[in-house]
């Protein structure tokens, strides 16, 4: 029998979780998936999905945490949004006939877990964050640990670091797996490394925790006068427009505005990365995975990552990339200067990056996801 999974998201706005799910649904896999998500008031990560994916637009548009106002008011809005979302998904025909429900985000997992209890359908929670107060807030952490995870039939984490934050809170029969998010990668057998570093870049949505300010300061320190450019690929999302303005002002204050490009959202991520000579991941709190890291490595790019979280499961300092002390401008600037000054190091790291073990295409990731969901269904039958 063909598997009928229903994926549920609390938003359609373009974030990492949404773009990853889009890639998963575009993969050629033997299943009949349905996506349940609210309509998009702005950018739509789920526009133009193929007819093989049934899409139900239902439920309220949830506010980002940063836009939810004072804590008490934000909690009330969150609770009301959860109630409305639960009521909406319970009226979904797809939910009623699903073999398994998959919550694509931490926020959607709360009402999906409740829907699973009420419909007696197994629920899989996709953990894309470190489930701890510093990462997702105290209320969300408590809800996941006390309500969602004990009721989950399965947990898919995007890294071992993510899984470690939830493993103590799942039930004894819960199935778990670490499956990296589909990142749209294609393996590069023979990476091209230019003689000089012309462009350094970060691919990530514009958000304070993604570390654009940290990289901008490190770039200004490492290349105060050189012609090297810094390119930020990624748009504002979830209410971060003011942060973009702050970054633009900082570039001007640092005297590098003429060499800093805010390119916005790009559909051709692979093409954008191809134009970079050094690629950076520099989140200022531990990154659960960083799809950008997988994309950098697969493209055979000299890669610099913070020395914590999911990225160091993929990057070994001095072997297939460089690591810097997280949140340390001087350490990051030193790595950037070193790569600019040592072309042989760049070439060696690029070759090793492309050969990193475990990098998978979207189809391979989707096949693993289907196998895991089938296992969950079989063990709960």
102 alpha-carbon distance from chain centroid: 16
The per-residue pLDDT for 64 is 62
Count CA within 13 A, CB hemisphere, residue 256. 26
What DSSP state is assigned to residue 320?
T
The per-residue pLDDT for 63 is 65
The CA distance from 207 to 212, in Å, is: 8
Q: 192: pLDDT confidence band, cut at 50, 70 and 90?
A: confident
The CA distance from 201 to 303, in Å, is: 10
The per-residue pLDDT for 49 is 95
Give the 3-state secondary structure of residue 284: coil
The per-residue pLDDT for 255 is 97
Asked if residue 42 has pLDDT above 90, the reply is no
Fold of domain 5-182+361-380: Rossmann fold (3.40.50)
- Choose the CATH number for 199-354 among 3.40.50.2000, 2.40.50.180, 1.10.569.10, 3.10.290.10: 3.40.50.2000
**Among the ranges 149-163, 175-189, 233-247, which has the highest mean pLDDT value?**
149-163
Q: What is the mean pLDDT of residues 53-75?
A: 73
Q: Which of 123, 113, 43 is nearest to 85 (CA)?
A: 113
Its pTM stands at 0.90
Q: Which residues contact 55 (CB under 8 A, 6 or more apart)?
A: 34, 35, 37, 46, 49
Cβ of 64: how many Cβ atoms within 10 Å?
Answer: 15
Cα 187–Cα 104–Cα 234 angle in degrees, nearest 5: 55
DSSP string, 56-99: EE-SPPPPPGGGS-SHHHHHHHHHHHHHHHHHHHHT-HHHHH-S
The per-residue pLDDT for 40 is 80
Topology alike, domains 5-182+361-380 and 199-354: yes
Instruction: State residue 105 phi and psi, 5-degree precision.
Output: -140, 165
The per-residue pLDDT for 379 is 96
For the chain, which residues make up each domain, given as ranges? Answer: 5-182+361-380, 199-354
- Inter-residue contact 20 to 289 (CB < 8 Å): no
Q: 68: pLDDT confidence band, cut at 50, 70 and 90?
A: very low
Count CA within 13 A, CB hemisphere, residue 130. 17
Of 57-61, 178-182, 273-277, 324-328, least confident by mean pLDDT is 57-61
Q: Which of 4, 285, 10, 39 is nearest to 125 (CA)?
A: 10
Q: What is the mean pLDDT of residues 63-89?
A: 73
């Amino acid at each position: 029998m063909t598997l009928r999974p229903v994926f549920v998201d609390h938003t359609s706005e373009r974030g990492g979780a949404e773009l990853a799910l889009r890639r998963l649904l575009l993969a050629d896999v033997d299943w009949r998936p349905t996506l349940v998500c609210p309509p998009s008031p702005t950018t739509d990560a789920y526009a133009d999905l193929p007819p093989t994916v049934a899409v139900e637009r239902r439920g309220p548009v949830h506010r980002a945490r940063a836009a939810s106002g004072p804590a008490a008011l934000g909690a009330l809005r969150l609770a009301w949004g959860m109630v409305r979302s639960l009521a909406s998904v319970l009226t979904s025909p797809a939910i009623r006939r699903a073999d398994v429900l998959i919550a694509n985000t931490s926020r959607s997992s709360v009402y999906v877990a409740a829907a699973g209890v009420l419909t007696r359908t197994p629920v899989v929670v996709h953990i894309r964050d470190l489930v701890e107060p510093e990462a997702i807030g105290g209320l969300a952490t408590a809800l996941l640990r006390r309500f969602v995870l004990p009721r989950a039939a399965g947990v898919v984490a995007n890294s071992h670091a993510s899984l470690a934050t939830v493993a103590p809170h799942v039930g004894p029969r819960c199935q778990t797996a670490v499956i990296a998010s589909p990142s749209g990668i294609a393996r590069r057998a023979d990476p091209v490394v230019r003689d000089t570093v012309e462009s350094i870049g970060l691919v990530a949505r514009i958000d304070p925790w993604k570390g654009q300010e940290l990289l901008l300061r490190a770039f200004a320190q490492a290349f105060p006068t050189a012609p090297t450019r810094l390119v930020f690929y990624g748009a504002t999302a979830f209410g971060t427009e003011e942060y973009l303005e702050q970054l633009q002002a900082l570039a001007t204050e640092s005297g590098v505005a003429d060499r800093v490009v805010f390119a916005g959202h790009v559909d051709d991520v692979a093409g954008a990365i191809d134009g970079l000579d050094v690629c950076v991941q520099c989140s200022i709190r531990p990154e659960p995975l960083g799809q950008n890291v997988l994309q950098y490595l697969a493209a055979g790019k000299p890669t610099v990552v913070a020395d914590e979280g999911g990225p160091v499961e993929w990057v070994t300092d001095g072997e297939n990339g460089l690591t810097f002390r997280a949140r340390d401008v001087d350490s990051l600037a030193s790595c950037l200067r070193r790569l600019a000054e040592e072309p042989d190091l760049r070439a060696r790291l690029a070759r090793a990056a492309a050969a990193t073990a475990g990098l998978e295409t979207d189809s391979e990731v989707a096949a693993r996801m289907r196998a895991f969901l089938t296992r969950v269904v079989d063990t709960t039958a």
